Structure 1
């Protein structure tokens, strides 16, 4: 039996301060957790403070089956937090504290070894708000093997992005994922066509030499476009609890199927199932039911 793939989420880990209480999150950590549920060797690369919240983050990751080996410790800066409010549809609005520990992620030889062993790595824009963490993330990407899958999950947050940051990140990647709400902002920053989603995706693929572009549409599913084909999925009907982490779960499902050599339709199906399941739960790292993850996502109804 082949060894499970090594999948890395690098960037922020933080506590989501939700109306219902505190939940561990951060897009790269959420992605890694869902990749772990799908059977991969998942690794979180981030930094926490030497404080109570940092200790609790480590303990919770370990309880969920994920090592804290690559969670760096910061004696000066606190563990990250974000205040999350929800609109009537359960969609989150974020207010991030700064500076925090993950703003000071440091490059070291151990990260270089991990990068070379990674089959896939995922990151976004938020953790690149500090020059130090941005440099570490891009160094990690450069240290991966040529055949590794590099995923840029855009995740625009507040003012923490720029045209240069987005372009540099796309240049380094195999897959770019963004939401339909982010398309106009990215198109304006990079002078890309915005009148048609498929034309936008095709131009991004051409300009940045990507293997795949994904546009998510919340409860209305997603669009996948590669150099030769497209696939559209309507999404699954669920009662959303808070939707925090649903996009990260989607990315985990997408990467899981991509590494298996699946069709665009299969990638879209698993990705939407994962996103819908997390949206129906509280928090970004829900525990699967006793029947298991497969049972939880198997009987969802298409929109």
Structure 2
């Protein structure tokens, strides 16, 4: 059974746009930007909804988005707050640690459901970081309920930028949920689900929240997809070249969304998402700058640009 029945207009990608500042340079980042960027590279035409400042970092972001061909009508300018930045450090295995700054432009995204409905969105992707402030969370919840389209929630539980109450509300207004194993452990505690094996916890959480699908990523151990009908497992795909793991989860989400919109069989969708996430580990950050990066995937998966 297809997880998405009737796609209409573009997917809306809501969340942070920022610069990831590594010790050796700066790259584009933010979960929402990475997801939108990769969807565009794979042939869709998403609408990125975010907010940047009026600084040089914003100009850098705009230049990059134009090169990628992403539409800009959902990108807001903030006169008072800077374009988001995150300080990133990597351990010897390329695993990142993030120092996320407060009061960034993406904390003040404004949503108008009437304007968004005019796009007839097929799906709304959202993370949790851009809703870290209570006012933003409340605004997003009200707007998303008014918008009324399916929601793909990609949790990003970065301490100290999340709180149990808002997370539980987000969980109850999504259609699909994507999280990693550490986040699963935190969420099942929030939901009062007893300890146990990962598969059992994933099944119980999906059922308790009434989700169409729950995606669980396990890094080097692959991923699961839990639906009402069955559990799917995809084995890991080795990264041929490891630069860092930044944005691998966002790459997974992009392909999961693509598969939902293109109605791929669930097992195919899951394996392709794992494969793409492994490839993202071979570039710096989560937004590959070389358009050729996407060619092998588009060829193997029979993708062409949306009309």
Structure-1-length-normalised TM-score: 0.90
- Separation (CA, whole Å) in 1 of partners of 2:40 and 2:297: 16
Deviation at 1:109? 5.8
**Who is 2:3 aligned against?**
none
Equivalent position of 2:287 in the other structure: 285
Match of residue 271, structure 1, among 273, 280, 299: 273
Offset at 1:165?
Answer: 1.5
* Structure 2 residue 142 is matched with structure 1 residue 139: yes
Equivalent positions of 1:72-151 (< 5 A) are 72-108=76-112, 111-113=115-117, 117-145=120-148, 148-151=149-152
CA-to-partner distance for each residue in 1:29-52, whole Å, 9 max, x for gaps?
Answer: 111111112211111111111111
Alignment of 1:57 with 2:61, yes or no, is yes
Contact 1:102 1:133 in 2 (8 A): no
Structure 1 match to 2:305: none
| Correspondence 1:119-198 to 2 at 5 A | 119-145=122-148, 148-198=149-199
Query: For each residue in 1:144-180, what CA deviation from the matched residue of structure 2 results, as whole angstroms up to 9, or x when unmatched?
Result: 34xx431110111121112212211111111111001
Q: Which residue of 1 aligns with 2:304?
A: none
1:30 maps to 2:34: yes
Which sections of structure 1, spanning at least 5 residues, go unmatched? none
- Work out which structure has the larger RCO, using CA pairs closer than 8 Å and 6 or more positions apart in sequence: 2
**3-state DSSP class of the match of 2:207?**
helix
Deviation at 1:265, TM superposition (A): 0.9
> What is the alpha-carbon distance in structure 1 between the residues aligned to residue 204 and residue 293 of structure 2?
43
Partner deviation per Cα, 1:226-247 (whole Å, 9 max, x = no partner): 0111111111111321111110
Preserved contact between residue 33 and residue 285 of structure 1 (Cα < 8 Å): yes
Cα gap change, 1:196/1:41 in structure 2, threshold over 3 Å: closer, same or farther? same
Gaps of 5+ in 2: 1-5, 302-307
Distance in 1, matches of 2:172 and 2:159, equals 23
Moved more, 182-191 or 224-233: 182-191
Alpha-carbon contact 1:118-1:144 (below 8 Å) kept: no
CA distance in 1, matches of 2:116, 2:236: 38
Provide closer, same or farther for how the CA distance between residues 279 and 298 of structure 1 changes in structure 2, counting only shifts above 3 A. farther
